[in-house]
Structure 1
């Protein structure tokens, strides 16, 4: 029996095609009609795998979440919780930076997406295992999601034009070098992310030390 010229339609093929469209042209480029044309199939055949466009975008978002490294939260990993949280955040941002157009969908939260829920479960579980109360572990997970997704939604450096005449020193005396930011976008944006991430982790570490000290005082020096 002759093999079909095109691979049979599958969820993975649809997600791959939709992801490529999102990466190239943005969320508005995705429609069931456009996807069917890209895949060389009839529009209704997509509905054998997804009910609508929103489900397809959810699957694209979850495919990006699946790229996030979670190995630092495994029991066998020697990293302490600040180092694990740092390395996870770097991996998380890298995944979003590679697919910036899907970030608004990811920013809505994991919902029922399996990979997104695994990320949330790993972070929360690691913080509780490290000694954070469940409520505080929830706050930390939310805080990190706000910070990472926010950093991936736009570029500070790209917000400035590369025309040195655009920023008259009479009006903007401190922006004399602002026209150089655009060409240094990656350096500026990654530096800003790392600076903010270190500040967050330093603050959390201080809170953690205070929490441990307070618990020790309440327990008494000779009680375990």
Structure 2
């Protein structure tokens, strides 16, 4: 029997094509028509694998969550909770930084997405195992997610134009060097993330010490 000219349609192929479209053009670019054309199939055939476009975007988001390293929460590694959060936060942000256009979908929460749920479960489990009360462990997971997702959604440095005449000192006396930020995007954005993460973990460490002292 002759082989088909094109690979059979699958969920994985649809997610890959949708992810490439989101990365290149944003969420609004995704449609069944565009995906079908990219895959060389008819539009209705996509519905054999996904019921709606939102389900496709959920699957794309979950494929990004699946790239986040969770091994630091393995009890066998015996990492301190703070070290585990630090390592995980960098892995999470690295995964999101490669795919910033999907962040708004991830920001809705894990819903029923398997990789997203495994991520939430790993963080909550590690915090409760370290001695954090369940309610506070939940807040820590939420806090970290807000911070990481926000940092990956857009570049602070690229929010300023590189025209030195754009920021009149009579209107913005402290933005005389703002036009230089874009060319230092990596340094500014990475430094901001590192500074914020350290501040969050330092604050949590103080709370943890106070909690243990009062126990």
Q: TM-score range by the shorter chain?
A: over 0.9
Residue 208 of structure 1 aligns with which residue? Answer: 208
Residue 13 of structure 1 aligns with which residue? Answer: 13
Unaligned 5+ segments in structure 1 are 216-224
Residue 86 of structure 1 aligns with which residue? Answer: 86
Q: Deviations over 1:69-126 (max 9, x none)?
A: 1010001113210010011011111111100000000000000000000000000000
Residue 144 of structure 2 aligns with which residue? Answer: 144
Q: Which moved more, 1:20-29 or 1:168-177?
A: 168-177
SS at match of 1:172: coil
Residue 128 of structure 2 aligns with which residue? Answer: 128
Q: Which moved more, 1:62-71 or 1:171-180?
A: 171-180
Residue 218 of structure 1 aligns with which residue? Answer: none
Please identify the structure whose Cα radius of gyration is greater: 1
| CA RMSD, 1 decimal | 0.7
Residue 166 of structure 1 aligns with which residue? Answer: 166
CA distance in 2, matches of 1:168, 1:91: 40
CA distance in 1, matches of 2:159, 2:5: 46
Which runs of structure 2 are paired with 1:26-175 in the superposition (5 Å)?
Answer: 26-175=26-175
What's the TM-score once normalised by structure 2's chain length?
0.98
CA distance in 1, matches of 2:38, 2:130: 47
CA distance in 1, matches of 2:168, 2:61: 42
**Shift in Å, 1:170:** 2.2
**Shift in Å, 1:190:** 0.8
**Shift in Å, 1:194:** 0.7
Unaligned 5+ segments in structure 2 are none
SS at match of 1:76: helix
Q: Deviations over 1:147-169 (max 9, x none)?
A: 11111122111111101111122
CA distance in 2, matches of 1:97, 1:56: 20
CA distance in 2, matches of 1:171, 1:59: 46
SS at match of 2:210: helix
